[in-house]
Structure 1
Amino acid sequence: MPRLNLLEETRYEKLPVTVYPDQQIASVEVARRIATLIKSKQQQNENAVLGLATGVTPIKVYAELVRLHRDEGLSFKNVITFNLDEYYPMKPDAVQSYVTFMNENLFDHIDIDKANVHIPDGTLDVDAVAAFCLNYEKQIEELGGLDLQILGIGRTGHIGFNEPGSAPNSGTRLVTLDDLTRSDASRDFGGKENVPTKAITMGIGTIFKAREIILMAWNQKKAPIIKKAVEGEISGEVPATYLQLSDHVEFILDEDAASELTRFDTPWLVKDCVWDNQLKKKAVIWLALELGKPILKLTEEDYNTHGMAQLAVEQGPAYNINIDIFNQIQHTITGWPGGKPNADDSQRPERANPARKRSIVFSPHPDDDVISMGGTFIRLVDQGHDVHVAYQTSGNTAVWDDDVLRYVEFAIDFNHSIGEDTAKLQGLYEEMRKFIDSKLPNQIDTQEIRNVKGFIRKTEAISGARYAGLQDDHIHFMALPFYETGKTKKNTVGEADIQLTIDLLQKVKPQQIFAAGDFADPHGTHIVCFNIIVAALNRLKETEEWVKDCWLWMYRGAWHEFATHEIEMAVPLSPQEVIRKRNAIFKHQSQKDTPVFPGDDAREFWVRAEDRNRDTARLYDLLGLAEYEAMEAFVRFKF
């Protein structure tokens, strides 16, 4: 690409950005650059002084560095490291400590001299912290400064633990953590109340002195803050924007993290485009919402003054484009998510035949089915389809401990009321209570407690599915093994996970599958469960004829919705259907009010779902289509 064109594309970007197809490729490249620096310093008989980060973002970088050491002989004997931060207070052997993180992901697997490793000390008395921080700075300066600092970025825009309000010349110090930062860390600590309120962090001024700075970001969740950091005004409210002032910084992103940058999100504003149908639909919807006009009222002038003159010239006139896009969106709307019998389906999202379809709703957790597509679920049953639901995991990590005691107390009283001996159950109850009273944050529950938590979620799921109209033999509990660790970190997917899914699919032979396509799920379970389904289908399609006629529809959960231009099926809900969906969600009492892992959204799941469904309907209304109470949205996955 000519340099002039590249500069035009990136004119909104205030610092250098390199985008890779995925985080694995990007991480390997960052690791290669670190390795090159280390080798260069070795040749000069010098030390390489590295500033290191923790969290999910650099894990694959560290894994590649370990591989380079193991397989290609990369030595770290000349490497001196300074970590960005550490929670305070924090014992170095705690599971959540950054000492543990660095040892597990890097230091224990390479030949670095542990005397060359520096991590802020979370065990200091508070009156000793200031002196420690000054010495931390002094040690870096005496070594000539950091050769390379790698960074992640928090959703508040923090780098290290430099939260909003941090000064650009700040040094290493004790800071108070932002509430969102603590919420994001809550899963690692078994609840936000267990997350330390403070941390020791390098300052922005310290980071700035590094001769090279690489900030990495992966996945869609980071896209909004990346846009602010790269294209926004410099502000203490987004500390990462201070990096715009550095001549030695580069942002390295995967495509998802870069997706809201202007050149990717609204490319017509910065360059000529290849106008395929999806981009055309996205641009016209954007223009209508930007101007607050229904699609059919957009004019040639609107196109010309908002970067879309090329589209109007190449595929216009504008009104013809408007009609085309309006019709495409209108054709996504259907009250027949299983297909309308005996109807012309050429412009409908689902097939008319067979009139009665076998459908499976896969639910990663025991409530995703009703939260995400409860209205469609109920309608499929009401319209006579042969609907099954499959709960892929037990969801047993997301139940409060006091619920366990409450249910076991009920069981004791019930057994006593019917004359059954309660001694054994009473003894088990006392053991549970003793364990819970002394339980450490994120400590793995006993098997008995995990079982009770699983039973609670199972009975709630059965209740919700029955409310939707299913018979018990159409309700399946898969308990995929990857999930059953008793802790937030799950196992890698194994053959048993795929085979269990294959077995169920072969039993039902569905024409229609609904699966969670909400990959912004902060716990990662949704994408793992989705990939298992795809792996199972890819195997089955080689031998099973029915797979060729099976359509896979993705729904989204309690976190985000599909963009309007992505939606391929929109199922409108009446006010009464919204209430029925709400009642189905209410069957999941353990997840109501304050769930164990709510993410950063304080609303209850039923409120999130209703707000999201109403927002989808509102957007259709703003574009000039029929006004509905609410809508559930789906995208078809072609495998």
Structure 2
Amino acid sequence: MARLNLLEETRFEKLPVTVYPDKLTASKTVAKRIADIIIRKAAKGENAVLGLATGVTPIGVYAELVRLHKEDGLSFKNVITFNLDEYFPMLPSSSQSYDAFMKEHLFNHIDIDLTNVHIPDGTLKQEEVAAFCLAYEQKITALGGLDLQILGIGRTGHIGFNEPGSAPNSGTRLVSLDDLTRSDAAHDFGAKSKVPTKAITMGIGTIFKAREIILMAWSAKKAPILKKAVEGDLSADVPATYLQLSDHVEFIVDKEAASELTRFNTPWLVKDCVWTDLLIKKAVIWLAKTLNKPILKLTDDDYNNHGMAQLATEKGPVYNINIQIFNKLQHTITGWPGGKPNADDSQRPERAIPAQKRIVVFSPHPDDDVISMGGTFIRLADQGHDVHVAYQTSGNTAVWDDDALRYIEFSLDFSKSQNIKADAIEKLYGDTRGFINTKQSNQADPAELQAIKGLIRKGEAIAGARFVGLDDDHIHFQNLPFYDKRKTNKNVSYEDDIQQTVALLQQVKPHQVFAAGDFADPHGTHETCFNIILEALKRLSKTEAWVNDCWLWLYRGAWFEFETYEIEMCVPLSPDEVERKRLAIFKHQSQKDRPVFPGDDAREFWVRAEDRTSETAKIYNELGLAEYEAMEAFVKWKF
């Protein structure tokens, strides 16, 4: 019976998917599978031939293999490896090369014979590549093929660098990289323009010949493409769908990556559910959106024909369910994000008391505050709350070199016009211009240039916060040290960052904290900054009574918005407030037009912000609620 239930739950899935609670557990499982192959082959006096991948996804697997080698004596002397791909052109000594990656994360820490390591050669002349690729294939074939191939999946659906349009029988070859793939790699190279346009990759046909194939995926960023790969039709537009044709493939994913699979995202379509309040809200909103109907117009037939008959039976009548969800959505809407004074707050998202709240708005980058919650920020200041803003990082990475040079030139010209000695500035200008002219991909800026870029962002942030209505003593530019440390060292301590945040929170003792809950930013800065805030609050909760009255609200909007069913506070904006928010965003001139790291969204940040808030308003209206110009959404963090 359990087996039948599982088959019913996974009936939309066209290949085996195993879901683990987190990527660490999943990575250890994959590492154990690899170790078992190595041990089994060694016992027979045979070599284990492994196909390896690079990128963030397999790092945990390699860390566990290193641990098994050092602590459990796992030997790699009988292991032969073939890497999936390499950028072209690319020097092995470059920090972005997959040769350097494999040495850093695996080969330098185990007893593998480096003559058994094979990685596509990014130093070849282009006319030499075809012969190299043929020889690569022949080496794999001569060894009896790959025992195991591990894969990640790109947001284009690529496996290896087999981008959309790749043939299912393709072999190792030179390929052109998709624009989205290059955007995702931009941070590693310092800018998208510096990412190579080509790569050498094993083909899908080569991958298929492996006796076992494991594709791994972690985080919600991979959820949309994973759903296409697992549940979608075979398509050259999503090369990973070709893995559906294999009898020896398994997808190993964490729960976030699996979140959009039918069995997790819309479970009522495949099984009976335990109908929690949140699941009911999600299902009813989904049904209304699917049918393009306001919630109050949904009928029994709508429920019964869309997998929700159980809900109608257990919690009905249907119209009562509709009213309940409609009221819940209506109660999320408030023009008083700090709480409405002298009002009944039993159906409001925020408390009425105290009428004037102390508030800290944390902004991971110096513009996330106005981009993601600028209208609410303005509303809180206008309504008389004691609002502070804390810019957590300098954001200096996201300033163009020529913008920094322009500011130095301004300082130099100003000093000359005022007959101020400018020897130091002249030297700085010469040194900076010389560095920029010879700068390598992803080369760290010297401290002086980092400082200049940070000051550019700081000036813009202060201008934006002043425009919102804050006094200078309520504007805190934290410049948390992890941001610069992490550019040269992936394993940094966050203790200084936490202590600095603790001190600020102790100073303000806020009733409300607003923090970025959008963890899809390309650099991972948002998530790191949120974890620092969370740890600071957890520590303070042990000694400071005010923390018990502090509510933590999460905002999104720079990259993605909250799903409608998740929203717990929705602040409507008037056309005038949308305009004021736009002008606050415009204060960040270095990020206007074309930021250094735009992600895969080509729109300017102010356009993204307006489109997303107007889309939220449109959704609320289509569900049957009032029509607003725009709405900013928030979710309360549950400690």
Q: Name the TM-score, length of structure 1 as normaliser.
A: 0.99
Residue range with higher mean Cα deviation, 206-215 or 35-44? 35-44
- 1:395–1:457 contact (8 Å) kept in structure 2: yes
Matched AA of 1:617? A
- Counterpart Cα distance in 2 of 1:499 and 1:479: 13
- 1:444–1:486 contact (8 Å) kept in structure 2: no
Secondary structure, aligned partner of 2:362: strand
Partner of 1:217: 217
- Counterpart Cα distance in 2 of 1:614 and 1:199: 40
Partner of 2:91: 91
Partner of 1:323: 323
Secondary structure, aligned partner of 1:397: helix
Residue range with higher mean Cα deviation, 486-495 or 370-379? 486-495
Matched AA of 2:592? K
- 1:397–1:488 contact (8 Å) kept in structure 2: no
Asked if 1:280 is matched to 2:248, the reply is no
Partner of 1:598: 598
Partner of 2:574: 574
- Counterpart Cα distance in 2 of 1:490 and 1:281: 41
- Counterpart Cα distance in 2 of 1:392 and 1:108: 35
Asked if 1:487 is matched to 2:487, the reply is yes
Offset, 1:491: 5.2
- Counterpart Cα distance in 2 of 1:324 and 1:488: 53
- Counterpart Cα distance in 2 of 1:438 and 1:80: 39
Partner of 1:452: 452
- 2:147–2:211 contact (8 Å) kept in structure 1: yes
Matched AA of 2:293? K
Secondary structure, aligned partner of 2:380: helix
Offset, 1:2: 0.5
Partner of 1:625: 625
Asked if 1:611 is matched to 2:611, the reply is yes
- Counterpart Cα distance in 2 of 1:625 and 1:307: 25
Partner of 1:135: 135
Partner of 1:123: 123
Partner of 2:162: 162
- 1:224–1:260 contact (8 Å) kept in structure 2: yes
- 1:445–1:486 contact (8 Å) kept in structure 2: no
Superimposed CA distance per residue, residues 555-596 of structure 1 (whole angstroms, 9 cap, x where no aligned partner)? 014100000000000000001100000000000000000000
Superimposed CA distance per residue, residues 288-347 of structure 1 (whole angstroms, 9 cap, x where no aligned partner)? 000010000000010000000000000000000000000000000000000000000000
- Counterpart Cα distance in 2 of 1:447 and 1:457: 15
- Counterpart Cα distance in 2 of 1:408 and 1:55: 37
- Counterpart Cα distance in 2 of 1:5 and 1:339: 47
- Counterpart Cα distance in 1 of 2:584 and 2:25: 43
- Counterpart Cα distance in 2 of 1:484 and 1:189: 16
Superimposed CA distance per residue, residues 377-417 of structure 1 (whole angstroms, 9 cap, x where no aligned partner)? 00000000000000111011110000111111111122222
Superimposed CA distance per residue, residues 403-453 of structure 1 (whole angstroms, 9 cap, x where no aligned partner)? 111111111122222221112211211111111111111111111111100
Partner of 2:26: 26
- Counterpart Cα distance in 1 of 2:460 and 2:36: 55
Offset, 1:42: 1.2
Offset, 1:634: 0.3
Task: Output the aligned Cα RMSD.
Answer: 1.0
Offset, 1:490: 5.4
Offset, 1:628: 0.4
Matched AA of 2:635? V
Partner of 1:360: 360
Residue range with higher mean Cα deviation, 570-579 or 415-424? 415-424
Superimposed CA distance per residue, residues 234-262 of structure 1 (whole angstroms, 9 cap, x where no aligned partner)? 01111100000000000011111111110
**Cα separation, partners in 2 of 1:533 and 1:220, compared to 1, 3 Å:** same
Partner of 2:290: 290
Asked if 1:415 is matched to 2:409, the reply is no
Superimposed CA distance per residue, residues 19-64 of structure 1 (whole angstroms, 9 cap, x where no aligned partner)? 0111111111111111111111111111110000000110111011
Partner of 1:374: 374
- 1:592–1:605 contact (8 Å) kept in structure 2: yes
- Counterpart Cα distance in 2 of 1:452 and 1:191: 19
Superimposed CA distance per residue, residues 351-394 of structure 1 (whole angstroms, 9 cap, x where no aligned partner)? 00000000000000000000000000000000000000001110
- 2:148–2:213 contact (8 Å) kept in structure 1: yes
1:66-215 aligned at under 5 Å gives the runs 66-215=66-215
Aligned length: 639
Asked if 1:551 is matched to 2:580, the reply is no
- 2:187–2:522 contact (8 Å) kept in structure 1: no
Q: Name the TM-score, length of structure 2 as normaliser.
A: 0.99
- 1:450–1:486 contact (8 Å) kept in structure 2: no
Partner of 1:510: 510
Offset, 1:350: 0.1
Offset, 1:182: 1.1
- Counterpart Cα distance in 1 of 2:494 and 2:187: 24
- 1:82–1:118 contact (8 Å) kept in structure 2: yes
- Counterpart Cα distance in 2 of 1:360 and 1:493: 24
- Counterpart Cα distance in 2 of 1:438 and 1:127: 28
Matched AA of 1:173? R
Partner of 2:425: 425
Offset, 1:193: 1.4
Partner of 1:227: 227
Offset, 1:494: 2.2
- Counterpart Cα distance in 1 of 2:486 and 2:79: 37
- Counterpart Cα distance in 2 of 1:115 and 1:486: 33
- Counterpart Cα distance in 2 of 1:70 and 1:221: 33
Residue range with higher mean Cα deviation, 550-559 or 466-475? 550-559
Superimposed CA distance per residue, residues 491-513 of structure 1 (whole angstroms, 9 cap, x where no aligned partner)? 53421111000000000000000
- Counterpart Cα distance in 2 of 1:133 and 1:160: 14
- Counterpart Cα distance in 2 of 1:633 and 1:301: 32
- Counterpart Cα distance in 1 of 2:261 and 2:570: 27
- Counterpart Cα distance in 2 of 1:487 and 1:39: 38
Asked if 1:478 is matched to 2:471, the reply is no
- 2:485–2:492 contact (8 Å) kept in structure 1: no
Partner of 2:40: 40
- 2:557–2:612 contact (8 Å) kept in structure 1: no
Detail structure 1 runs of 4+ shifted over 4 Å in the superposition: 488-491
Unmatched runs of 5 consecutive residues or more in structure 1? none
**Cα separation, partners in 2 of 1:486 and 1:28, compared to 1, 3 Å:** closer
- 2:494–2:532 contact (8 Å) kept in structure 1: no
**Cα separation, partners in 2 of 1:489 and 1:218, compared to 1, 3 Å:** farther
Matched AA of 1:433? R
Residue range with higher mean Cα deviation, 337-346 or 551-560? 551-560
Partner of 1:564: 564
Unmatched runs of 5 consecutive residues or more in structure 2? none
- Counterpart Cα distance in 1 of 2:12 and 2:96: 38
Offset, 1:486: 7.7
Matched AA of 2:188? D
Matched AA of 2:112? I
Offset, 1:487: 3.2
1:511-550 aligned at under 5 Å gives the runs 511-550=511-550
Offset, 1:126: 1.4
Matched AA of 1:216? M
Secondary structure, aligned partner of 2:369: helix
Matched AA of 1:530? F
Matched AA of 2:351? R
- Counterpart Cα distance in 1 of 2:353 and 2:609: 30
Secondary structure, aligned partner of 1:331: helix
- 2:160–2:202 contact (8 Å) kept in structure 1: yes
Residue range with higher mean Cα deviation, 172-181 or 325-334? 172-181
- Counterpart Cα distance in 1 of 2:60 and 2:273: 34
